[in-house]
Structure 1
Amino acid sequence: MKIVDVCAFYTPRGGGVRTYIDQKLVAGARAGHEIVVIAPGERDGIERRGDGASIRWLRAPRFPLDGNYRFFSDRAALHAALDQEKPDILEVSSPWRSASMVADWRGRARRSLIAHADPLSAYAYRWFGPVASHRTIDRAFDWYWRHLRRLDQRFDHVVSASESLSRRLREGGLAKVSTNPMGIEPGRFTPNRRDPALRRQMLALCGLPEDALLLIGVGRHAPEKRWEMVVDAVAMASAAAPLGLVLIGGGDPRRALRAAVGGNPHVRLVEPVRDRDALARTMASADALIHGCEAETYCFVVAEAIASGLPVIAPDEGGAGDLARAGGGRVYRAGSAPDAAAAIRDVADGWARPIGAAPRTMEDHFADLFTLYAEGHRSRHAA
């Protein structure tokens, strides 16, 4: 099959989506499929990858709310690219403008909407959650649910990466939802990479001795990641036990994050670790991972931490919470610094972590995804 992914979130400086797409290119070639990713870029061009895979860049303007991203603005140019590519399977990984563009294309490919983003959790629930229930917010944003239901009618599949998101989509009236959790890179994240010397170095960076608890956080300095809340929770918990936080994140720290850290010597903001083996060693050398974002549709970081043998402290909503529960982690009420602080204290006090299920691998995810596509492709040809 030829699979074309119209991916508005793919960027050279991206995080989870870029990791996912790069792995899909390799997995598709290994399974005998041709994968082409169409992404918004600075200029038109084609970036060849091995075994026939490629990234096709379409010139596009910057996204006004985040300069790291661009957005598809030229419907005719996107349709022309799809006409040239002639996909068997056409994916789109944003529910916004690009999804409507893909739905409007006149080609015959089967279409799949990949739920890489959860805008209501990332924005509406976070903004209005302190004063309104999710049900009330959903009613106020019924226009968004109507939009999703229209897309559901025009696509063959809506693929969700977590059961919690699938449940919300079905409750919102979507009929074609299937859950296909993502996974980790096989063999990379493991407790065997733990390095006591590296752990001592990170604790020393936080001004703490070897017997302190070392927390690690990984993620962009974006509002929906709630790092300010995490830093506040760490400060609350540190009153009862010596602990430090190394926060590995991309982009300039937001003013609110810098203010939350203040002069706390036990919290350190560290540049992103681009080398995946180095990240795996860093993660395995911590004592626990803490995550703040309840808007994750899957959450690679939490899955990688579980595979590294770490206890996970995560919000009780979204993909991070789903993984934490399955992996024997400790969940806290999303958005609550005091509740997160209580979870940290539990871990510091020697909380007995249940033995959870090991995260599945990306090989499992892609095998299931390609099987779903192949079944539909065969059915269309038979018809």
Structure 2
Amino acid sequence: MRIIDVNEFYSPTGGGVRSYLDRKMALLSELGHQQIVIAPGREDRVEERPGGARIHYVKSPGLPFDSNYGLFWDAAPVHALLDHYQPDVVENCSPWRSAAIVADWRGPAIRSWFMHNDNLEAYPKRWFARVASEATIERAFGWYDRYMGRWLDRFDTVVTNGPVLTERLRARGLRIDATMTLGIEREHFSPALRSKALRAAMLAQCGLPEDAYLLIGIGRHHAEKRWPMVIDAVRRAGARLPIGLVLLGLGPDTRTLERHIDESPHVRMFQPIFHRGQLASIMASADAFVHGSETETFGLVASEALASGLPLAVPDRGGSAAIARPEFAETYRSGDAYDCARAIVALASRDQTLLRRAAGLVAPKVWSDREHASALVAHYQSLIDERAGVSRSA
């Protein structure tokens, strides 16, 4: 099967979507399929990947508010690539220009809308949460759901990346055909990778001794991740216990966060680590994972933390909350730095051996990325077979 993802969220310096597609390309090649990504770029170029996978960058304008990403403008070069490759499935995940480009292409492929996020949750609900109820915000932005509904009607299937997003969108009346829960690279992450020396080195970077508590946060530096709130919470929790925080990431808010941590002597920021083995060792060597975003629809990094044996301090809404259990996690009111600080102190005060053991017991139940890829291909194949059956009967 040949799958082409026309993806405005893919960027060499991107976050979760880039990580997901990079791994998906490799997995589908191993499973005997081909994944090709068509993405906006600063120039026209092709990036070859093992097993026949590749990325076609189509020269496109950048987004004015986030230079990491671009926006397709001209449909012709994308349609020409689709005509050339004649895919079995064309995927789209953006509600902007790529939706029209995929929907308007005249080829026979199955069209799939793969939902990675919910813009209503990520933006209006976050912006106006202090002044209006969720119901009020949903009514005010009902035009967006109507806009989405019109586009979804032009696709053969609509799938989400997990049950949290499925529940949210269906509750607002949007069509969802299948839930394809994401998975992690389970083979990389393990509590056995925990290193006392690495832990001590990270605490030293935070200006703390080995008997301090070490938190790790991983994610793009963007307002929806709420890193300033997490940093404030760590600072407040640090007034009661010696706590260090290591943040891994980059993004449009990096400079803002650098200024923010100037007042936090025990918080350190480092660039993303893309080598999975190195990242897994760092995660396993922390004491707990802390997260700020309630808008994420699947707790991918939180699941990797669990597989590393880490307890969680996460908001009470969103993808991370969906996997949190009292045996190994403390949740807090989303967006509330004071309650986040309380959760961190509560987690640090519990029996760490029992917490890590409970996290380790749950980790094997998290889907692997291979299981996700296989289920997605099976879903697409069922649609292809159904269409072929209808064609033969006609």
The reply to whether TM is greater than 0.5 is yes
2:386: which partner in 1? 379
Q: How big is the shift at 1:327?
A: 8.5
Q: How far, CA to CA, are the matches of 1:252 and 1:138 in structure 2?
A: 27
SS in structure 1 at match of 2:153: helix
User: For each residue in 1:273-314, what CA deviation from the matched residue of structure 2 results, as whole angstroms up to 9, or x when unmatched?
Assistant: 232211111110000010101121223211111100000111
Q: How big is the shift at 1:210?
A: 1.2
1:365 counterpart letter in structure 2? H
Structure 1 window deviating more from structure 2 (322-331 vs 335-344): it is 322-331
1:168: which partner in 2? 168
SS in structure 2 at match of 1:112: strand
1:292 counterpart letter in structure 2? G
2:55: which partner in 1? 55
Q: How far, CA to CA, are the matches of 1:2 and 1:52 in structure 2?
A: 10
TM-score norm. by structure 2 comes to 0.92
Q: How far, CA to CA, are the matches of 2:150 and 2:66 in structure 1?
A: 27
Q: Check the 8 A contact 2:25/2:53 in 1, yes or no.
A: yes
1:366: which partner in 2? 373
Question: How does 1:21-40 map onto structure 2 within 5 Å?
Answer: 21-40=21-40
> How many residues were matched structurally?
383
2:65 counterpart letter in structure 1? L
2:362: which partner in 1? 357
Question: How does 1:269-280 map onto structure 2 within 5 Å?
Answer: 269-280=269-280
SS in structure 2 at match of 1:154: coil
Q: How big is the shift at 1:255?
A: 5.1
User: For each residue in 1:6-38, what CA deviation from the matched residue of structure 2 results, as whole angstroms up to 9, or x when unmatched?
Assistant: 111111112221111111111111222222111
Over 3 Å counting, the alpha-carbon distance change for 1:236 and 1:126 in structure 2 is same
User: For each residue in 1:112-169, what CA deviation from the matched residue of structure 2 results, as whole angstroms up to 9, or x when unmatched?
Assistant: 1111222122211111011111211111111110012112211122211121211111
Q: How big is the shift at 1:232?
A: 0.6
2:92: which partner in 1? 92
SS in structure 2 at match of 1:10: coil
Q: How big is the shift at 1:258?
A: 3.4
Q: How big is the shift at 1:326?
A: 9.5
2:337: which partner in 1? 337
Q: Check the 8 A contact 1:328/1:357 in 2, yes or no.
A: no
SS in structure 2 at match of 1:132: coil
1:268: which partner in 2? 268
Q: Check the 8 A contact 1:125/1:137 in 2, yes or no.
A: yes
Question: How does 1:95-244 map onto structure 2 within 5 Å?
Answer: 95-244=95-244
SS in structure 1 at match of 2:245: strand
Give ranges in structure 1 of 5+ residues lacking alignment: none
2:81: which partner in 1? 81
Over 3 Å counting, the alpha-carbon distance change for 1:306 and 1:130 in structure 2 is same
Over 3 Å counting, the alpha-carbon distance change for 1:328 and 1:156 in structure 2 is farther
